[in-house]
Amino acid sequence: MASVHSLASTVNQRVADALSAALPEAGAADPLLRRSDRADFQANGILALAKKAKANPRELATQVVAGLPAGDVIKEIEVSGPGFLNITVTDRAIVETLAARAADARLGVPLAENPGTTVIDYAQPNVAKEMHVGHLRSAVIGAAMVEILEFTGEKVVRRHHIGDWGTQFGMLIQYLTEHPHELDHQHGGPEEGEAAMSSLNRLYKASRVLFDSDEEFKARSRDRVVALQAGDPETLALWQRFVDESKIYFYSVFNKLDMEINDADVVGESGYNAMLEETCQILEDSGVAVRSDGALCVFFDDVKGPDGKPSPLIVKKSNGGYGYAATDLSAIRDRVQNLGASTLVYVVDARQSLHFRMVFETARRAGWLNEDVHAVQLAFGTVLGKDGKPFKTREGETVRLVDLLDEAVERAAVVVREKDKQGRLTEEEIAERATQVGIGAIKYADLSTSAARDYKFDLDQMVSLNGDTSVYLQYAYARIQSILRNAGERTAAAHPELELAPAERALGLHLDQFGETLAEVASAYEPHKLTAYLYQLASLYTTFYDQCPVIKPEPAPDVAENRLFLCDLTARTLHQGMALLGIRTPERL
Ligand code: ARG
């Protein structure tokens, strides 16, 4: 179906037309229309334009007003201050625009004009290692961006760049050859993932102890690394076991997170092994990388070490080994040349920003990135404990992600039980809702601060019914569903001829902004602006619900239908927005 122009963009266009009629040299200048407290909208762009054209701003504004007679869309327009325009729209225009939105399955959200292909790198835990809160952020933010970008029409390719290569595998594999049953555990069942990780952990610790205490084992482990890198089949098969066992665990955690990860999209560091040598060759031949103390390095004017000496990106070590940089550079070539990416997005911890800055600049010098293909790191901050320090257990260990998820679901169960005063829900229903509320709470808390900032992990706050939380939005949604169910033979229907109450107008004008909000969120990679939009939507709905009775006391039939229509569109917008964030909206809570 056709996309719907928002009322805001219609008004903006009209003001722009009147502006270019009054001041032809302004061309297609943007009047910068914004929502405002004084009227519905305020246009702030005239001042700057008048200054540029050496015209009197108030006079120009007055001319624009004269060119915009009140009518079907604009109800009132007046000049204010030094040359702002205050604009009030008609109730009819609000309801008609919303009705067009409601008639579309996409809620009228336009598709991007020039969609491209984005390869997004997110949810990248490390083999044989426990997943912690840092992995939560990448997974949650990445998954939301995937959904949002796809919704705007972008082609999206997912890549999970898991850490599955490196010298530590020599130690692990060697230990496994000497203790062949260490990875055995019960297969099948919901606990399989946890069992896989606990045997991996045991093996990791045991092999580490041996490595540090037994020189001969250490030597054998080093030989193993050489065998692994040389592609020795037996060694590779053992390495594959580590990868497979770890994936069982990762998938169990992602499943808990209510997140779908496809095996085909898991292309770990090892996936680029065959390209490493060529990548280095190209960089060396083109002079982008140079030999320095035996290593192959790329230097940057603005990157220096603590000693003031330039600190290079090392693409090949002096012993011939390849590291994180060579892998990432090869991944860029693959994503650009084989996957056809026009944009590369990396959802990775801000502490890796220097790495990405150097990798991107190297790729630019090599021509892999250019005006048509660009790369961005969607860098996220650290998850902090209540004390404001990086989140650790009391013993100072990193907190296991699964433990946090389980605890969130437990807390949510308490909330759901408390709310279900009449005891209508079965135990099974409580468990299901608790999962949706608890996991939603964790995702929402992660998404609702701007990604670059650190945030405090506070479960009490996350599952609170009051405030900027997912459960507040979930309740708003469930409440609307209950109203729609109880509406009897009344049905939702738009009535543009009616006069609207202030709370109806405010809700309607906010609903109008859904498409614009999504476009902004998609282009700036800022999911927190979507949570802010949805939270405000739920708040405006709450005010509307308090001030504008839908069923009791019973309003006139046309008023009731129009209110049900607003209820329905609010619910659909909440549902769509939350779905993009990966958060469930149960029909009943
Ligand atoms: N596995 C890495 C970690 O846990 C993150 C990988 C990020 N992606 C990349 N292409 N380097 O820190």
Which residue has the least CA distance to atom 4 on ligand 1? 125
3-state secondary structure of 291: strand
Is residue 224 very low, low, confident or very high in pLDDT (cuts 50, 70, 90)? Answer: very high
Give the max Cα distance, the chain: 90
Summarize pLDDT for 188-214 with one digit per residue, the tens. Answer: 887 889 889 989 989 999 999 999 999
Distance in Å, CA 349 to ligand 1 centroid: 8
Ligand 1 probe mutation, 253, 330, 352, most atoms within 8 A of CB: 352
Long-range contacts formed by 148-151: CB under 8 A, 24+ apart: 148/518, 148/521, 148/522, 148/527, 148/530, 148/580, 149/118, 149/120, 149/522, 151/106, 151/109, 151/518, 151/522, 151/580
CA of 84 to the centre of ligand 1 (A): 49
- Best mutation site among 122, 124, 329 for ligand 1 pocket (most ligand atoms within 8 Å of CB): 124
Q: Which atom of ligand 1 is nearest to the CA of 355?
A: 11
120 Cα: distance to centroid of ligand 1 (angstroms): 12
Say which CATH architecture domain 435-580 belongs to. Answer: Orthogonal Bundle (1.10)
Q: Where residue 329 falls among pLDDT bands split at 50, 70, 90?
A: very high
Domains 7-89 and 435-580 share a fold: no
Residue 534 has pLDDT above 70, yes or no: yes
Mean pLDDT for the chain overall: 94
**Ligand 1 mean position to 449 CA, how many Å?**
22
Task: Name the pLDDT band for 287 (thresholds 50, 70, 90).
Answer: very high
Q: What is residue 2's predicted lDDT score, i.e. its pLDDT?
A: 58
Domain boundaries, the chain: 7-89, 166-261, 435-580
* % of the chain exceeding 70 in pLDDT: 100
The reported pTM is 0.95
Contact call for residues 164 and 270 (beta carbons, < 8 A): yes
pLDDT tens readout for residues 348-375 = 999 999 999 999 999 999 999 999 999 9
CB distance 408 to 462 below 8 Å: yes
Tell whether the model's pLDDT for residue 1 goes beyond 70: no
The pLDDT of residue 589: 87
For residue 73, the CA-to-ligand 1 centroid distance in Å is: 51
- Reported CATH class of domain 7-89: alpha beta
User: Sign of torsion, CA 343 349 352 357?
Assistant: positive
The pLDDT tens digits for 461-513 are 999 988 999 999 999 999 999 999 999 888 999 999 999 999 999 999 999 99
Amino acid letter at 495? H
Pick from 26-30, 254-258, 552-556: least confident: 26-30
Among 198, 166, 168, which Cα is nearest to 183's? 198
What are the counts of helices (DSSP H) followed by strands (DSSP E) for the chain? 20, 13
The set of protein residues with a Cβ atom below 6 angstroms from ligand 1 is 121, 124, 126, 161, 163, 328, 331, 346, 348
**What is the atom index within ligand 1 of the atom nearest the CA of 348?**
7
